[in-house]
């Protein structure tokens, strides 16, 4: 089991959109108990329960394992309204896991050819220590402000403001803001977009891939 310790309480509005209700609905639709989801995801029952109640900030890898146990795509958690125009100050928030991270979907929820996500990361915040992978062909990381430590397949790379890096997101990777002060703002672009971003999470369709499945 991982995430044995009780996670910190989540501050309302700090870590993006609430996802607990969606995950609970997906679990009920799959007719699984909290204990079953915990066993299949390798997390503790108490931690899964806290995620469902929006009382925990799961790492990206942990959140992906919960989605995998529920047989839903990670894109199903992105509930932003469809639309081509997203104005500054009106970015739809999403929750992709991690700690000290606030994220926004910049592309329409149904767009599958390309997907862009904006992350605002507090100093020391990031995806968590456990690597995760994403079902896309290519990923672009562009640092708008601050400094980002990106680890891909065990190799560390520090990206400063204005730096861009392109890699295959199927490789296990993590990220962390290493700027001493201020938010690190990062633009992530995936091609193709993560699957079924417009899918109602309660339908329970699709499957995520985790590095251990490779």
* pLDDT 10s digits, 17-61: 678 888 888 888 888 999 999 999 999 999 999 999 989 888 989
Model confidence at 207: pLDDT above 50: no
Residues 195 and 113 sit within 8 Å (Cβ to Cβ):
no
**Contacts of residue 60, Cβ cutoff 8 Å, sequence gap at least 6:** 96, 97, 98, 127, 128, 132, 174
Average pLDDT, the chain: 81
Confidence category of residue 78, pLDDT binned at 50, 70, 90: low
Its pTM surpasses 0.85: no
What CATH code would you report for 93-191? 2.60.120.10
Q: How far apart are CA 193 and CA 113, in angstroms?
A: 5
First to last CA, the chain: 20
């Amino acid at each position: 089991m991982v995430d044995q310790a009780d996670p910190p309480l989540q501050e309302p509005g700090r870590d993006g959109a609430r996802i607990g209700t969606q995950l609970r609905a997906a679990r009920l639709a799959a007719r699984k108990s909290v204990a079953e989801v915990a066993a299949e995801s390798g997390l503790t029952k108490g931690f899964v329960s806290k995620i469902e109640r929006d009382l925990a900030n799961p790492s990206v890898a942990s959140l992906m394992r919960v989605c995998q146990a529920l047989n839903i795509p990670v894109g199903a958690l992105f509930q932003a309204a469809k639309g081509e125009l997203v104005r500054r100050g009106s970015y739809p928030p999403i929750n992709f896991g991690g700690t000290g991270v606030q994220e926004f979907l910049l592309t329409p929820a149904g767009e599958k050819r390309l997907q862009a996500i904006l992350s605002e990361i507090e100093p020391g915040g990031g995806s968590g220590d456990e690597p995760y992978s994403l079902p896309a062909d290519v990923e672009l990381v562009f640092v708008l402000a601050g400094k980002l430590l990106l680890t891909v397949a065990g190799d560390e790379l520090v990206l400063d403001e204005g730096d861009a890096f392109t890699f295959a997101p199927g490789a296990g990777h993590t990220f962390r803001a290493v700027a001493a002060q201020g938010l690190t703002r990062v633009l992530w672009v995936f091609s193709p977009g993560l699957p079924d971003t417009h899918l109602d999470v309660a339908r329970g369709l699709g499957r995520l891939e985790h590095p251990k499945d490779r």
